[in-house]
């Protein structure tokens, strides 16, 4: 499955097809005996919420085809979760005592006997086994065989304007397998996974920012434009560079030397090596050394049109260039997925863990919580837990639509940032002043008003909400232990009296109006492909920035892996490690002026003038202490050194 997340390029929403990932049930999905299906273990969460009695259009034809993955629970799923918690908790005697990939599989992975038993069961049901990994057994076959294997009928259901098949009740597996099956995915086929050319398209059309700009925050005041919040406002920055971000977040002498960062996205930019090298040279970043940047890619790609493959090039470019700019000594491995769908992105994450390609993994993709399905949640969380056991930390952007009400009509968080096993990265608006001096941050939230026809006022100031950092309280994920005592009770209990997971955990620059400059080869109107630079933002920026800061922290940690960082991050709450970000740090309201090309490239189509307010994130607020826009805050100069081993 997949969905869309808008990527903020200088404040212009560019629709990019991004994957559906699911939220985290803290310890996965336990098997339960099915009372109406004796001799079988229920695989909870395998019937999607949209497969209701009202939407039921009857049985699916027996001849229809199904492709599914049966995920393996391993020999000790409860032990895996417990060990993942212990090695990540600074108060545990097992803290930092990681296992390598081979050891973790030997201790917690599926046995050969379990794999053989699962394969035998599936084959005896009439399904064809198409792939076997240490995580799952993939099968294909007709509906009749799938129904026999999983103890449920497949029916056709309406979902929106379309019809898909799905289980009429939760799937199950034989008790004789003794809990070897974690879950099964693929029994529903929404949305339809149509195939396209496996050749990657050329780069997207060029985008350029119009000026005037500020070179640092406040350097160029828009003296001829109307006041906002009682005073003249500055023009938006042209785009911060690594030097400014390193100063803002206290990099000091650290470069992340020798630390390994992995970046996962779909597809792969064909010009990333040239673009990243050119950008580094243009902005004074250290040149990439031999093998410092390399890619791990699938043999071929699918769904390139459906997923908007070219749109992912900019995502990879941003992630690589931002990570290198902040941690120029770190090694970066880009792991591209064959498509924007769950199966392929999950394979990429598994590839990082199975081969321990990095200790820090930056992920700038996700979906809304309403689209999460518990079957996939279990599969993803298992990978995150294996990662934690090996000392690998996953960082996910919290989303770019605030509380999601304006986007979906429902207040909700994004997934997988809501997982109890990942670090959710929120977003800020960042002011870096003269001499690269940190001034302040607000929570990222933008309201936009345009210049009136006579040029004397802003129409309906402060204007309509456009975008902001994702955050809020999960409706499905229980509150993890590390948030207790830090997250205000009113937030934790917003959807459940017992308390739920609140997003995010930490934050960094995201607002495209105070954004980062990137360089990318793009397609110009004449059809030529040329390198050009533009300003970009979104929590797709915040995630690699925090991943890079974590690389600096790991260097300070003596080079030893930090692993799943949330327990240690929350243990530092309230210290000088963080900037405590609020929405109005100056007490007078904040905004910047923007001049934009209407056609996105030059003035031939005219320009538009607008004011963008800072710190206006839907119903979410950045306040003193922990909040649901910036979490515990952004890294302060003391953050990196706080990880030093004593």
State pLDDT tens for residues 16-38.
333 333 333 333 333 444 445 67
Cα 418 to Cα 406: distance, rounded to the nearest angstrom: 20
Q: How many CA atoms are closer than 13 Å to the CA of 228, on its beta-carbon side? A: 30
Instruction: Classify strands 393-397 and 360-363 as parallel, antiparallel or unpaired.
Output: parallel
pLDDT category at 370 given cuts 50, 70, 90 is confident
Task: In whole angstroms, give the CA distance from residue 324 to residue 2.
Answer: 29
pLDDT at 361 over 70: yes
DSSP label at 458?
A: B
- The mean pLDDT value of the chain amounts to 91
Query: Which of 10-24, 127-141, 217-231 has the weakest average pLDDT?
Result: 10-24
The DSSP-derived string for 495-530 is S-TT-EEEE-SEEEE--GGG-EEEEEEEE-TTS-EE
Helix (H) or strand (E) holding 9: strand 2-9
**pLDDT at res. 7:** 44
Match 């693929």 to its residue by tokens. Answer: 186
| DSSP label of 423 | E
More confident residue, 374 or 550: 550
pLDDT exceeds cutoff 50 at 6:
no
Tell whether the model's pLDDT for residue 373 goes beyond 70: yes
pLDDT, tens digit (0-9, with 9 covering 90-100), for 140-168: 999 999 999 999 999 999 988 889 999 99
Question: Phi first, then psi: what are they for 178, rounded to 5°?
Answer: 55, 45
Cα separation, 549 vs 423, whole angstroms: 13
Q: What would the mean pLDDT of 554-583 be, rounded to a whole number?
A: 97
- Per the model's pLDDT, the better-predicted residue between 9 and 205 turns out to be 205
Region 623-641: mean pLDDT is 98
Going by pLDDT thresholds of 50, 70 and 90, the confidence category of residue 279 is very high
Residue 645 confidence (pLDDT) = 81
> What is the structure's pLDDT at 229?
97
pLDDT tens by residue, 465-495: 999 999 999 999 999 999 999 999 999 999 9
| Mean predicted confidence (pLDDT) in 276-281 | 98
**Strands, E assignment, 460-619:** 464-468, 472-478, 500-503, 506-509, 516-523, 529-536, 578-579, 591-597, 607-613
- Decide if 170 contacts 44 (C-beta within 8 A): yes
The answer, yes or no, to whether residue 634 has pLDDT greater than 60, is yes
Q: Are 314 and 242 in contact (CB under 8 A)?
A: no
In the predicted structure, residue 211 carries a pLDDT above the cut 50: yes
26-81 pLDDT, tens digit each: 333 334 444 456 799 999 889 988 899 999 999 999 999 999 999 999 999 999 99
**Average pLDDT over every residue of 120-130:** 98
H helix runs in 177-308, sequence order: 242-248, 272-282
Q: What is the DSSP string of 103-153?
A: HHHHHHSPPHHHHHHHHHHHHHTTPEEEEE-SSEEEEEEEHHHHHHHHTS-
Q: Note the pLDDT of residue 577.
A: 97
pLDDT score recorded for residue 541: 97
Nearest to 430, CA basis, from 370, 504, 511: 511
14: pLDDT strictly greater than 50:
no
Q: Is 275 helix (H, G, I), strand (E, B) or coil?
A: helix
CA 504 to chain centre: 11
- What's the whole-model pTM score? 0.92
Domains (range + CATH), the chain: 2-21+241-441+464-582+627-641 (3.40.50.200)
Q: What is the pLDDT of residue 111?
A: 97
Contacts (Cβ under 8 Å, ≥6 apart) of 397: 363, 364, 365, 366, 414, 417, 425, 427, 470, 538, 539, 540, 542, 543
Of 522, 519, 540, nearest to 530 by C-alpha is 522
Q: Answer for the pair 94, 396: CB distance below 8 angstroms, yes or no.
A: no
* Mean predicted confidence (pLDDT) in 337-365: 95
Burial of 329 (0-12, 13-18, 19+ CB in 10 A): middle
Using a pLDDT cut of 90, give the percent of the chain over it. Answer: 86
- Which among 502, 490, 537 is positioned nearest to 424, based on CA atoms? 502
Q: What is the pLDDT of residues 596-627, one digit of tens each?
A: 999 999 999 999 999 999 999 999 999 999 99
Residue 465: what pLDDT? 97
- Tell how far CA 299 is from the center of its chain: 24
Strand-pair partners of 498? none
What pLDDT shows up at residue 389? 98
Longest dimension (CA), the chain: 78
Q: How far apart are CA 266 and CA 316, in angstroms?
A: 8
């Amino acid at each position: 499955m997949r969905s869309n997340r808008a990527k903020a390029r200088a404040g212009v929403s560019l629709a990019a097809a991004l994957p559906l990932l699911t939220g985290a049930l803290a310890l996965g999905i336990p098997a339960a005996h099915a009372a109406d299906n004796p001799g079988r273990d229920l695989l909870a969460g395998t019937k999607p919420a949209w497969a209701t009695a009202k939407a039921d259009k009857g049985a699916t034809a027996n001849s229809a085809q199904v492709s599914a993955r049966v995920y393996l629970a391993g020999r000790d799923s409860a032990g895996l979760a417990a060990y993942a918690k212990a090695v990540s908790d600074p108060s545990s005697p097992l803290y930092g005592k990681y296992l390598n990939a081979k050891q973790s599989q030997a201790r917690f992975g599926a046995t050969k006997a379990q794999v053989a038993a699962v394969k035998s069961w599936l084959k005896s049901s009439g399904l064809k086994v198409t792939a076997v990994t240490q995580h799952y057994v993939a099968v294909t076959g007709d509906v009749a065989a799938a129904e026999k294997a999983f103890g449920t009928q497949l029916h056709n259901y309406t979902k929106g304007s379309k019809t898909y098949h799905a289980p009429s009740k939760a799937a199950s597996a034989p008790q004789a397998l003794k809990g070897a099956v974690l879950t099964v995915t693929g029994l529903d086929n929404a949305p339809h996974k149509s195939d396209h050319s496996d050749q990657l398209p050329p780069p997207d059309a060029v985008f350029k920012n119009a000026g005037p700009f500020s070179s640092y925050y406040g350097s160029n005041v828009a003296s001829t434009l109307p006041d906002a919040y009682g005073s003249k406002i500055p023009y938006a920055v042209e785009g911060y560079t690594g030097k400014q971000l390193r100063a803002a977040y206290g990099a000091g002498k650290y470069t992340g030397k020798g630390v390994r960062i992995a970046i996962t996205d779909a597809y792969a930019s064909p010009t990333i090596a040239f673009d990243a090298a050119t950008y580094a040279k243009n902005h004074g970043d250290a040149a990439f050394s031999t093998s410092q940047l390399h890619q791990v890619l699938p043999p071929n790609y699918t769904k390139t049109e459906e997923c908007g493959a070219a749109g992912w090039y900019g995502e990879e470019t941003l992630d690589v260039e931002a990570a290198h700019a902040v941690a120029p000594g770190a090694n970066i491995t880009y792991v591209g997925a064959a498509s924007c769908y769950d199966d392929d992105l999950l394979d990429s994450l598994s590839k990082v863990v199975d081969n321990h390609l990095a200790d820090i993994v930056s992920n700038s993709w996700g979906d809304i919580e309403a689209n999460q399905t518990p079957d996939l949640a279990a599969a993803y969380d298992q990978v995150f837990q294996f990662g934690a056991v090996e000392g690998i930390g996953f960082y996910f952007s919290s989303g770019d639509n605030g509380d999601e009400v304006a986007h979906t009509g429902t207040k909700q968080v994004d997934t997988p940032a809501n997982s109890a096993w990942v670090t959710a990265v929120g977003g800020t608006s960042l002011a870096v002043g003269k001499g690269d001096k940190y001034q302040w941050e607000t929570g990222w939230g933008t309201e936009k008003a345009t210049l009136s026809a006579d040029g004397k006022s802003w129409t309906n100031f402060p204007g309509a909400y456009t975008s902001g950092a994702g955050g809020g309280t999960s409706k499905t994920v229980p509150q993890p232990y590390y948030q207790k005592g830090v997250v205000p009770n009113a937030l934790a209990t917003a959807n459940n009296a017992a308390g739920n997971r609140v997003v995010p955990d930490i934050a960094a620059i995201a607002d495209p109006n105070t954004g980062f400059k990137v360089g990318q080869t793009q397609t110009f109107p004449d059809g030529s492909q040329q390198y050009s630079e533009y300003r970009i933002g979104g929590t797709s920026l915040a995630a690699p920035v925090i991943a890079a800061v974590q690389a600096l922290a790991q260097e300070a940690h003596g080079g030893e892996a930090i692993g799943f960082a949330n327990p240690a991050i929350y243990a530092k709450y309230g210290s000088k490690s963080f900037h405590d970000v609020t929405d109005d740090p100056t007490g007078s309201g904040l905004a910047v002026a923007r001049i934009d090309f209407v056609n996105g490239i030059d003035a031939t189509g005219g320009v538009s003038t607008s004011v963008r307010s800072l710190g206006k994130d839907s119903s979410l607020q950045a306040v003193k202490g922990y909040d649901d826009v910036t979490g515990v805050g952004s890294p302060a100069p003391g953050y990196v050194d706080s990880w030093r081993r004593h």
